[in-house]
Structure 1
């Protein structure tokens, strides 16, 4: 008998791409319905997902074996972060959080918040003590999550054709 609601965090695999792409499309539509401009210009697309998985950036949260949440975690590499209107908390190594997307099947269950706990544990396990993330000014759901998880607003970055709010959390 399998345990109900068994949650795992792992690297995304090639076999996850179709499920992840479906989740990204659901998230694009959810952003649109919420009135957000984020992800409304053809990005992210299927090639973005394939690249994330191929490069080892893609990670998934599964619930009872079903892909529920996707995220791209990238170490020390976000060119847009080199010029911030404001200031980062640290200048050392960091993990960038991009493309957080939750399946409609699991929306409203707190999995995005839980994802950030896994991201923090993963980041610490790599001996990296800082997480940086940006989001659209009108992505209220993500702004609330970042606030609830203790991320500090650092300023604005220009990314994906627009100005984004930038946040950092130091894991010490």
Structure 2
């Protein structure tokens, strides 16, 4: 399996995976992704900005996510507290796995490969993510992959202004190592 940056040629497969995810959520009566979000324009913008990554095997895209640097407007205010206050972070959004490959642990594999790429970046201290309160499967995957629940965030923009999601944060390996050294120096 390979994690790579998406290209516009990948858009049809990415849209298919997003539709699969939308349907899976609908089948579970979860009111997430049931409107126009995430639509083609969001997915195209993610690809053009270099945010979208895909997990690929034998020329088939198995999963996708948007890994976005910089401040996320929805993460500026939280009911709770981030592990890092004003530290540089990446946000992961629009995580989905092909319905043809459910049960293979691909969402976890996708996260682990993203972590490998960014864990040692000196300028990134954390990774943030959010999910719908009813999306128990994603909550489980997020926690299983080392994220800590930090509170609730109100989603802003994208016609989602009245939605509140559970928020999570994970320190990068570089930040964890720095914290360990600082803790040992104090003792």
Structure-2 separation of matches of 1:74 and 1:120? 13
Which of 121, 125, 132 is equivalent to 1:136?
Answer: 132
The answer to whether residue 138 in structure 2 is matched with residue 114 in structure 1 is no
Residues paired across the two proteins, number: 166
Partners of 1:108 and 1:100 lie apart in 2 by 15
Q: Mind listing any 5+ residue stretches in structure 2 that lack a counterpart?
A: 177-187
**Equivalent residue, structure 1, for 2:167:** 166
Q: 2:146 maps to what in 1?
A: 150
TM-score, length-normalised on structure 1? 0.93
Identify which of 91, 99, 122 aligns with 2:94.
99
Q: Is the 8 A contact 1:123 1:131 kept in 2?
A: no
Choose from 28, 33, 39 the match for 2:27: 33
What's the Cα RMSD here?
Answer: 1.0
The equivalent of 2:68 in structure 1 is 74
Contact 1:69–1:100 (Cα < 8 Å) also in 2: yes
Counterpart-to-counterpart distance in 2, 1:169 and 1:106: 26
CA distance in 2, matches of 1:138, 1:73: 23
Q: Max radius of gyration: which structure?
A: 2
Distance in 2 separating the partners of 1:92 and 1:129: 6
Give 5+ residue unaligned stretches, structure 1. 1-6
CA separation in 1, counterparts of 2:26 and 2:72? 25
- Partner of residue 9 from structure 1, selected from 3, 12, 15: 3
Aligned counterparts, 1:79-90, within 5 A: 79-90=73-84
- Flag the structure with higher strand content: 1
Confirm whether residue 20 of structure 1 aligns to residue 5 of structure 2.
no
